[in-house]
Amino acid sequence: MTRSELPQRVAVLSVHTSPTEQPGTGDAGGMNVYVAQTAIRMARRGVEVEIFTRATSSEQPPFVELAPGVQVRYVAAGPFEGLGKDDLPSQLCAFTAGVLRAEARHEPGYYDVVHSHYWLSGQVGWLARDRWGVPLVHSAHTLARVKNAALAAGDTPEPRVRVIGEDQVVSEADRLVANTEIEAKQLIDLYDADPQRTVTIPPGVDTDRFRPGDRRAARAQLDIADDAVVLAFVGRIQPLKAPDVLLRAAAELLHRDPSLRERLVVLVAGGPSGSGMAEPTALQELNTELGLDDVTRFLPPRGGDELVHVYRAADVVAVPSHNESFGLVALEAQACGTPVVATRVGGLPVAVAEGRSGLLVTGHDIGDWADALGELALDPDRRERMASAAAEHAHRFSWDRTTEALLGAYDEARREFHARVGGRA
């Protein structure tokens, strides 16, 4: 894109979670990574990015610089602590007021585009779009109707207010950004989205950080033996992500071959989130019931090089989610040269090249999961072949490519918006 086609300033809305938070706990996950990585790359192109998120502590400053050209602004909306995601609809009025006040301190036309992430932000973005006279670009990340159709056992359905809110945002947005063609089809079929306003832009992966490396050194960092068979789960501990499936499959592998206990290590890296907060120790209790206390290691959420060590140390990374709009963990693991076993849902068939970079399992039958994990983890030759293909597959995705496509979507949305309502292009 030429400089004249780029927006000068983009307002990014991320109400319920900040890109400065550590993914893997609370409400922080792949969306945080997406917002941070694309904002940083837009700034490198000369686009100023201001990210609005809800303040969750009285100690937070009004704003921080995430990177040169990227500012995160913390908006006071409701009590700083003690609010779950389901409580936030009642605070959208206060959050919107804070966003509009920030814009009011500037000359009219300060922002060129508003990009909202998740339906809560979309509600705010809809009002900001009308107030500022700029297009609204929206990324859903997950969809209530899709999640409710594939609930984990005992999980709580998404509330009706979210379904209604998503319908409204889909109807109002000037561009809807889907992670995969599957998600785009869900928006069109389940939410009556306009196909002409729906664009598919896959997320990326930071291949400078997530890349193949010394597996022995990674295992040494985690105090794991060189000859261990290592299965890993990375992500939030909640029914949606189904970490229990990995534990049950590990127990099945030990039932089939008790001698494997001498070498098996199961890593679970993440913290309670969402509906998992109701029973924060449930996974550890299940681990004890399954007789895996000597096998499983629970690790706190980690980022940067510490997370790279987990991916590199594993023979296989399991992504047994009941729903994923894409699955960044799968992509990060593969970028590190580690094959993935994932559920055949949502965007995971795009994130994982079945038979080349990993295996896909239909459903959550524990026998099927044990078969797939065993096929890779217990067959070194096949695992090594897939390890090379996994890194190659992950390199097809990059945040630079994602950002370039987003900037293109912004440009198209701006041209159409201003042609429709008049004014600047």
Find out whether 147 is annotated in a ligand binding site: no
DSSP-H helix ranges across 173-242: 181-191, 215-221
CA atoms within 13 A on the CB side of 224: 29
Q: Which two tokens stand for residue 24?
A: 């893997």
Q: Which two tokens stand for residue 70?
A: 């990227």
Find out whether 312 is annotated in a ligand binding site: yes
Find out whether 218 is annotated in a ligand binding site: no
Q: Which two tokens stand for residue 143?
A: 């969809």
Structure letter (DSSP) for residue 86: G
Find out whether 22 is annotated in a ligand binding site: yes
Find out whether 160 is annotated in a ligand binding site: no
Q: Which two tokens stand for residue 62?
A: 């009004």
DSSP-H helix ranges across 61-192: 92-104, 119-132, 144-148, 160-172, 181-191
Residue 291: which residues within 8 A CB-CB, separation 6 or more? 251, 254
Contact assessment for residue 349 and residue 325, using Cβ atoms and an 8 Å cutoff: no
Find out whether 29 is annotated in a ligand binding site: yes
Find out whether 338 is annotated in a ligand binding site: yes
Query: What whole-number distance in Å separates Cα of residue 126 and Cα of residue 95?
Result: 13
β-pair partners for 51: 12, 72
Find out whether 311 is annotated in a ligand binding site: yes
Contact assessment for residue 230 and residue 311, using Cβ atoms and an 8 Å cutoff: no
Residue 109 φ then ψ, to 5°? 80, 20
Find out whether 34 is annotated in a ligand binding site: no
Find out whether 314 is annotated in a ligand binding site: yes
Find out whether 23 is annotated in a ligand binding site: yes
Find out whether 215 is annotated in a ligand binding site: no
Find out whether 81 is annotated in a ligand binding site: no
Find out whether 236 is annotated in a ligand binding site: yes
Find out whether 16 is annotated in a ligand binding site: yes
Query: What whole-number distance in Å separates Cα of residue 269 and Cα of residue 308?
Result: 12
Contact assessment for residue 47 and residue 9, using Cβ atoms and an 8 Å cutoff: yes
Find out whether 324 is annotated in a ligand binding site: yes
Find out whether 424 is annotated in a ligand binding site: no
Residue 219 φ then ψ, to 5°? -70, -35
Find out whether 179 is annotated in a ligand binding site: no
Query: What whole-number distance in Å separates Cα of residue 104 and Cα of residue 132?
Result: 9
- Positions at the binding site for Mg(2+): 311-312, 314, 338
- Known binding residues for UDP-N-acetyl-alpha-D-glucosamine are 22-23, 30, 236, 241, 302, 324, 332
Instruction: Summarize the annotated binding site as residue ranges.
Output: 16, 22-23, 27-32, 85, 118, 142, 162, 236, 241, 302, 311-312, 314, 324, 332, 338
